[in-house]
Amino acid sequence: MLREDIARAARAAIWVYAIHLWNSTNGSRREKLLRDAATFLAHLQAGAVRIDGHPDEEVHPWKCYFGPSSEMSCVDCFTFHIRLDHSEVSKRKVSKAAVEAVLAELRSPAQAAGTIVLRDLSFVKPASPKVARMARDVVRVIRAKLDDLNPIMVSWEDARAPATAAAFAAIEVGNWIAEVELHSYIPYDNDISQHKLEVWVNGGRVEINVDGIDEVWIYPVRPPRAMRGAFAAAYAKWYGRLVATALVEELEGV
């Protein structure tokens, strides 16, 4: 069996990979990649994996990422790799039903509310505590400025209005995920509101540029059961505001 810290880091790596897929891919490609991730996670949960390399004394989630490829998927933790064990004994541990059960979980973004994903070159991994704190501070500041944001709308009939309303409601209620891409090594130990935040609202996501260097994307996810009522109310409010504002602008243009 894997050490608990290694298993926890591997699970987190696969989950943030799946979360990223919801916003970066769609259709049959997303389904295939999610199934690959589910297959790996099912093997991980059954203990049907092996370690190549030398784990650190303590392995943290932000030190690992899931790296699927056409040849072999693995969780890469830099000093070691976790790979599927293809021995006959391990194969018997993981049934098709087990993979399908895990796949159903990975398709359910409601479990991911509040997750922070770090984009790092060609892969994604769990955010470190410092990066996660920075992202939550950004969301907090944006939440306070929601009334001042100007979403990109073409007309009151624009199909992006529902997605934009969902993004605003998610930020207000808390059923959001954030992806962060860092190009600097600024620790952001001080109040994030003191930094220059440039904000764009584009369809179903809110894009924030921090100091012209780092970027944060905020996406809505399906609210957990406890948040559904609050999200529905917030969504109705924001959708009404967006449509009313866009309709007024359209009429003024006429």
| pTM score | 0.88
The SS3 assignment for 51 reads strand
Separation of alpha carbons 173 and 236, rounded Å: 13
Q: How high is the pLDDT of residue 149?
A: 79
Say which residues have a Cβ less than 8 Å from residue 124's Cβ, sequence separation at least 6.
Answer: 16, 17, 20, 65, 117, 118, 179
Dump pLDDT digits (tens) for 54-67.
998 899 999 999 98
The SS3 assignment for 73 reads coil
Dump pLDDT digits (tens) for 174-203.
999 999 999 988 778 888 988 999 998 887
Separation of alpha carbons 139 and 34, rounded Å: 27
Separation of alpha carbons 251 and 247, rounded Å: 6
Asked if 197 and 142 count as a contact pair (C-beta separation under 8 A), the reply is yes
Q: Where are the beta strands (DSSP E) in 32-161?
A: 49-53, 65-67, 74-76, 80-84, 116-120, 123-126
Domain boundaries defined on the chain: 4-107, 115-253
